[in-house]
Amino acid sequence: MTTLLCLVGPTAAGKSRMAVEVALELEALGHEPEIVSCDSMGVYRQLDIVADKPSESERSGIPHHLFDVVDPSEEFTAPRYRELARKTIAEIAGRGGVPMLVGGSGLWFRSVVDDLEFAPTDPSVRTRLEAVDPAELMERLRAADPVTADRLDPRNPRRIVRAAEVLELTGRPPSELRDSWERYEGPYDLVVAGLTWDRSVLLQRVEERVDREIAAGVLQEVRSVRSFSRSAGQALGVKEMIPVTEGLETMDLARTKLVRNTKNFVRRQISWFKRDPRVAWVSASDLGWEGARRAIVERFSAAL
């Protein structure tokens, strides 16, 4: 079974920088680490600032994979990412390297490391269901799958439509498909470290990151993209800048929204990864940056 090192955690924690520093130390110990990005926006070309991709110099010679895979106009799903990521991990292990999965996209992380069952989707079916009263869809779900109906928030039509879509396309209650999500089982021998900071420090780092993105030209980057897919258009930094490019909002308002939305996303990331019993958390607030790096190197090197 392939040993897969994983570095996860919330946005603005410094995972990209930490991953490179850890990889360099593992390299000095005689290993050949290669980083596999687990960032749902990193796959998009042209969105370097939005995804906060490390530059070539910041990568320090450590191979990085799964950046710049598709154009922003293309949809890119978790199942497609799983296929590419698992193929990349197998190739790295096959040449004697050490694969290191790095990022904060919780769904994509689990899609790779666990044997999740993904329900199919059909844009035409989804569009038709979006035109139906959510209350009516809830009644259909309640009759076919009361477990799912009880779990759904009636104020969240997107999730209601998705559940109804799964029911229609598979003929199976969506709750059955969720069984695989309750298990933490997959094809790898996992070693997972979670990088974090005290909440107040992390939220301050979010504000600093947003200001760096704005200074680096995130508005110009978004403006330069001809069209966005649904998934790319929902990226933090894209959805806030589009109204500015259209002359509908000011940059000050966009910054306020981006800070707020990123902080909310960070909270959801922490909640997601906290549920995973395999994550060993390393606090840079408690240990300092150097101490956190040593702790992660020790955890990883012990598994190799």
DSSP 109-153: HHHHHS-PPPPP--HHHHHHHHTS-HHHHHHHHHHH-HHHHHHS-
Q: H-helix or E-strand containing 245?
A: helix 242-245
Residues in CB range of 57: below 8 A, 6 or more apart: none
Q: Which residue matches tokens 């040993």? A: 3
> Is pLDDT of 116 > 90?
no
What percent of the chain is predicted at pLDDT more than 70? 99
- pLDDT tens-digit readout, 132-168: 999 898 998 898 889 888 888 888 988 899 889 988 8
At 39 the pLDDT is: 95
CA distance 57 to 171: 51
At 17 the pLDDT is: 98
- Quote the DSSP letter at residue 44: B
pTM (2 d.p.): 0.86
CA distance 297 to 99: 14
CA distances in angstroms from 234 to 21, 96, 229, 292, listed in the order given: 31, 38, 9, 32
Instruction: Please tell me which residue, 176 or 258, carries the higher pLDDT value.
Output: 258
For every residue of 162-215, DSSP letters joined together read: HHHHHHHHHSS-HHHHGGGGG----SSEEEEEEEE--HHHHHHHHHHHHHHHHH
Domains and their CATH numbers in the chain: 3-115+183-302 (3.40.50.300), 123-181 (1.10.20.140)
At 280 the pLDDT is: 97
> Is pLDDT of 179 > 70?
no
- pLDDT tens-digit readout, 237-252: 999 999 999 999 999 9
C-beta of residue 33 within 8 angstroms of C-beta of residue 127: no
